[in-house]
Amino acid sequence: VGLFKALKAVKEIKEVAAAGSADGQAAPGFGGVMMGFANVMAGLMAPIMLWMKPERGRPLPATEPAAAPVAAKAALSGGLSAIVARDSAFDPALLTAFADQVFASVVAVWSDNDPGPVRGVLADALWEPLAAAASANQSMAVGHGTNSITTLATMQQGRASLVSAHAGEWYDSVVVAFDVRLSDQAPAMMREPWTEEWLFQRSLVPGPDPMSLPDQCPTCGAPTAVDSTGACTRCREPIPLRTAGWLVSRIVCHNPMLEMEYDQLVAQLRQNPEQLARLPAPLRELLPRDLQAPGATPQ
Ligand SMILES: [Zn+2]
């Protein structure tokens, strides 16, 4: 059973179960059993579905707005030239090949639920939910075997092309578009291609770790202390991070089916507080704000 069919089946089972319990026509216990089955199915899929949220991550702190969106083609050659002007070793073809490797490595996480190999190339806002999803996937696979969405996730193939580049004050930023499709092993109806934009960024001053803070705020010079938004506690300006190399900080996925399934999952979690409560914190951060913290205002 493919992902989308499976999720539809879950929805229909829940509707049948709900209708059965409402009018009393279902055999005793039937509704409860089917609801239990539906919740197991949904529980298996929730972590990876959340990781596939259409928009994940965010540009690194102090990124200029011009660096993040997909810009016109003109922004590519100008941006690349500006990056080459301050780093003569920069080679767009090498970055494209690197992006292809990063994409394949992220896909490979779902083969063995080991996110370790991509720690160095993902910003924390992407790495933390990925690691949580892989861990949840691993522990659920013990009792239930591999689920269909994990199998489909391993079949993603992406081809990178650079679409825009920006030489910013703190970072080099390049938006890489991937043409994504599932391999020939996937059912034909699921091989419709889609595009994703991944924002690759690296700091001008390299740091020792994938992401680290400088010792001092570059704006006011105070010893680094940040609030929950990453802003300097003294001058309130965002403190730019240091990266060891290129990192993916944001992913935007243009797959109408995944967008629809994400919305359905959110609706389901909204009605299922127990399932919501079982989600690891980094995955809850991929939910609308009112589901992240009980009592918050709905978006
Ligand atoms: Zn400051």
| Neighbouring residues of the ion ligand 1, judged by CB less than 5 Å | 217, 219-220, 232, 234-235
Contact 129, 286 (CB under 8 A): yes
Residues 194-218 have pLDDT tens digits of: 999 999 999 999 999 999 999 999 9
Distance (Å) from CA 224 to ligand 1 centroid = 8
Chain center to CA of 203: 21
Q: How far is the CA of 3 from the centre of ligand 1 (A)?
A: 47
222 Cα: distance to centroid of ligand 1 (angstroms)? 6
Kindly state the tokens that stand for 81.
């030239």
From ligand 1's centre to the CA of 166, what distance in Å?
A: 24
Q: Confidence class of residue 275 from pLDDT cuts 50, 70 and 90?
A: confident
The Å distance, Cα 80 to ligand 1 centre, comes to 30
Query: How close is the Cα of 238 to the center of ligand 1, in Å?
Result: 8
**Does the pLDDT at position 269 exceed 90?**
no
Q: Are 217 and 224 in contact (CB under 8 A)?
A: yes
Q: What is the enclosing helix (H) or strand (E) of 242?
A: strand 242-243
CB neighbour list of residue 50: distance below 8 Å, 6 or more residues apart: 129, 133, 262, 265, 279, 283, 286, 287
pTM of the model as a whole: 0.83
* Closest listed residue to residue 186, CA positions, set 159, 158, 151, 146: 151
27-78 confidence digits (pLDDT tens): 445 455 555 555 555 666 788 888 888 999 999 999 988 776 655 556 899 9
Distance CA 146, CA 153 (A): 11
Residues 95-146 pLDDT 10s: 999 999 999 999 999 988 899 999 999 999 999 999 999 988 887 766 566 6
